[in-house]
DNA sequence: CGGTCTCTTGACGGAGTTCAAAGCTAGTGG
DNA sequence: CCACTAGCTTTGAACTCCGTCAAGAGACCG
């Protein structure tokens, strides 16, 4: 199972077998079932999760009581509430499994130790955050530049497998509009 | 002038005077005047900018020909088109000085060399990207959770000095609505 | 002082929301 | 493996936030 993580790391840095084994000791493995929660609002955010298989989402509840999904994580992505994780504070987010999932997790203190003892991982995480930030910048650009309908079409063209993979109400929540409106767009596209 | 950069670095990593002098050789200093462009759409994004003093913005032109500001950078923030910088591609953004500004810049190849030769800077940039990504996550949360009017009020409460500092039409562009609507909100707030 | 940016005001229109109700689908237990 | 139910999707009508357009009032700079 953790061969998946090894081949992911290999894309960014070169590690000996021994180094890899040492690095693995900093992580824990989890399996979670569909809809299981990994973090709930108000809890201290203890873990940074890496998805080996399956799908997670991060969301919050807005003033009207509606769930707003801000991020999905599928295979080879990290997920946490970065602000709450970094400072070990209470989180304003929920993290939940969308599908049953296999995960690795690392606690904040373990991550600190890992980075101290394995400077190569400093480089690895620099890449991870850089990539995540770049993706976030693109996301903001689309949120600003496109209407809700264009946003859906764009997403549908670029990530068709993902659109198949998650229920529509989660997709609507992620794109920032209502399931009703998504349904309307889809019917327009058909005719 | 570069004492500013030194004290900024000191917040994240510890450097000897000699190390700092070596590190500085990887950077270039610039002064730019108000409205001067540092990057235009279609150009290869060569530089990563650090603001010592002043204010920059990053924007793109949407299909209707309207400028959409996606990011500001003031003192102690980095700014670039990360996707285009990382891969040395043509950018879809403009970067422009909002006020006259003093900057440091580093080219992509210099940054690679810097990180190779000074692993402490790997750690520094990991922090920088981590912080930037966390900020970006908060931004996305607000974009999703708040109406345009709430967005303005929230921004106004949390960054009042910044609201004073930039013209209103740039603020409107950054918050994702029209100057006309901003004007309407402001008049409602007064009465 | 004259001209070009910037901000304000108001009328109108449209994209997207809200609410309510009905139709569908998939997972669960029997 | 079927039936039942909870959860998901669709439809439609009324409404609202915010954009667009146009025109005027300030404000700042040479």
In 10 A of CB B24, how many CB atoms? 14
The alpha carbon dihedral of B100, B102, B107, B111 has a sign of negative
- Quick: pLDDT tens for B97-116: 999 999 999 999 999 999 99
Q: Is residue B17 part of a domain?
A: yes
Domain count for chain B, please give it.
Answer: 1
Q: Is residue A36 part of a domain?
A: yes
- Predicted confidence at residue B130, as pLDDT, reads 94
Q: Is residue A148 part of a domain?
A: no
- Predicted confidence at residue B149, as pLDDT, reads 95
- Quick: pLDDT tens for A15-58: 999 999 999 999 999 999 999 999 999 999 999 999 999 999 99
The alpha carbon dihedral of B135, B136, B139, B144 has a sign of negative
**Is B60–A145 a contact, with Cβ atoms under 8 angstroms apart?**
yes
**Is A63–B145 a contact, with Cβ atoms under 8 angstroms apart?**
yes
A chain contacts of residue B132, beta-carbon cutoff 8 Å: 129, 133
- Predicted confidence at residue A122, as pLDDT, reads 95
- Predicted confidence at residue A53, as pLDDT, reads 93
Q: Is residue B180 part of a domain?
A: no
Q: Is residue A156 part of a domain?
A: no
Of A62, A122, A133, the CB nearest to B145: A62
Q: For A66 and C30, how far is CA from C1' in angstroms? A: 35
Q: Are strands A28-32 and A47-53 parallel, antiparallel or unpaired?
A: unpaired
- Predicted confidence at residue A91, as pLDDT, reads 97
In whole angstroms, give the CA distance from residue A80 to residue A47. Answer: 7
Question: In Å, how far is B43's CA from the nearest CA of chain A?
Answer: 18
B136 has a pLDDT exceeding 90: yes
- Predicted confidence at residue A24, as pLDDT, reads 97
Q: Which of A105, A79, A96 is nearest to A36 (CA)?
A: A96
**Is A60–B86 a contact, with Cβ atoms under 8 angstroms apart?**
no
- Predicted confidence at residue B189, as pLDDT, reads 78
pTM over 0.85: yes
- Predicted confidence at residue A16, as pLDDT, reads 97
- Quick: pLDDT tens for A100-146: 999 999 999 999 999 999 999 999 999 999 999 999 999 999 999 99
Which CATH number characterizes residue B81's domain? 2.60.120.10
Q: Does B34 touch chain A (CB under 8 A)?
A: no
Q: Which of A18, A98, A93, A10 is nearest to A53 (CA)?
A: A98
Q: Which of B53, B17, B26, B167 is nearest to B110 (CA)?
A: B26
Q: For B69 and C17, how far is CA from C1' in angstroms? A: 27
Q: Which of B173, B164, B169 is nearest to B183 (CA)?
A: B169
Cβ-based contacts with strand D at under 7 Å: A 167-169, 179-180, 182-184, 186-187; B 64, 66, 147-149, 176-178, 180-181
B chain contacts of residue A62, beta-carbon cutoff 8 Å: 144-145
Of A123, A132, A134, the CB nearest to B83: A134
Q: Which residue has the higher pLDDT, B190 or A70?
A: A70
pLDDT level of residue B63 (50, 70, 90 thresholds): confident
Q: Is residue A52 part of a domain?
A: yes
- Predicted confidence at residue A104, as pLDDT, reads 97
- Predicted confidence at residue A63, as pLDDT, reads 84
**Is A133–B138 a contact, with Cβ atoms under 8 angstroms apart?**
no
Q: Are B133 and A48 within 8 A, CB to CB?
A: no
**Which nucleotide is closest to the Cα of B35 by its C1'?**
C5
Q: Is residue A172 part of a domain?
A: no
Q: Is residue B164 part of a domain?
A: no
A34-38, Cβ contacts within 8 angstroms, sequence gap of 24 or more? A34/A97, A34/A98, A34/A99, A34/A100, A35/A96, A35/A97, A36/A96, A36/A97, A37/A94, A37/A95, A37/A96, A37/A97, A38/A95, A38/A96, A38/A97, A38/A103
Q: For A172 and C21, how far is CA from C1' in angstroms? A: 21
Which domain, by its residues, includes B65? 2-114
A191 has a pLDDT exceeding 80: no
In whole angstroms, give the CA distance from residue A83 to residue A88. Answer: 8
- Predicted confidence at residue A1, as pLDDT, reads 60
- Predicted confidence at residue A133, as pLDDT, reads 95
Bases of chain D below 7 A from a protein C-beta are 8-13, 17-22
Q: Does A13 touch chain B (CB under 8 A)?
A: no
Q: For B68 and D16, how far is CA from C1' in angstroms? A: 25
B chain contacts of residue A143, beta-carbon cutoff 8 Å: 140, 143, 176
- Predicted confidence at residue B1, as pLDDT, reads 60
Mean pLDDT over each residue of chain B, to the nearest integer: 95
- Quick: pLDDT tens for B149-171: 999 999 999 999 999 999 999 99
pLDDT level of residue A2 (50, 70, 90 thresholds): confident
- Predicted confidence at residue A172, as pLDDT, reads 97
């Amino acid at each position: 199972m953790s061969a998946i993580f090894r081949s992911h790391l290999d894309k960014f840095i070169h590690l000996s077998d021994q180094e890899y084994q040492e690095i693995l000791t900093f992580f824990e493995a989890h399996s979670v079932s569909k809809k299981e929660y990994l973090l709930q609002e108000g809890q201290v955010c203890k873990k940074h999760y890496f998805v080996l298989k399956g799908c997670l989402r991060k969301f919050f509840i807005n003033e009207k009581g509606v769930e707003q999904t801000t991020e999905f994580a599928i295979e080879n992505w990290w997920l946490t509430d970065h602000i709450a994780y970094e400072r070990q504070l209470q989180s304003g987010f929920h993290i939940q499994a969308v599908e049953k999932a296999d995960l690795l997790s690392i606690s904040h203190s373990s991550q600190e130790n890992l980075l101290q003892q394995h400077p190569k991982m400093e480089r690895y995480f620099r890449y991870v955050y850089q990539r995540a930030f770049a993706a976030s910048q693109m996301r903001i650009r689309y949120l600003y530049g496109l209407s809700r309908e264009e946003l859906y079409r764009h997403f549908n063209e670029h990530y068709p497998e993902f659109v198949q993979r998650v229920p529509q109400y989660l997709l609507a929540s992620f794109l920032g509009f209502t399931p009703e409106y998504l349904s309307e767009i889809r019917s327009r596209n058909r005719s």
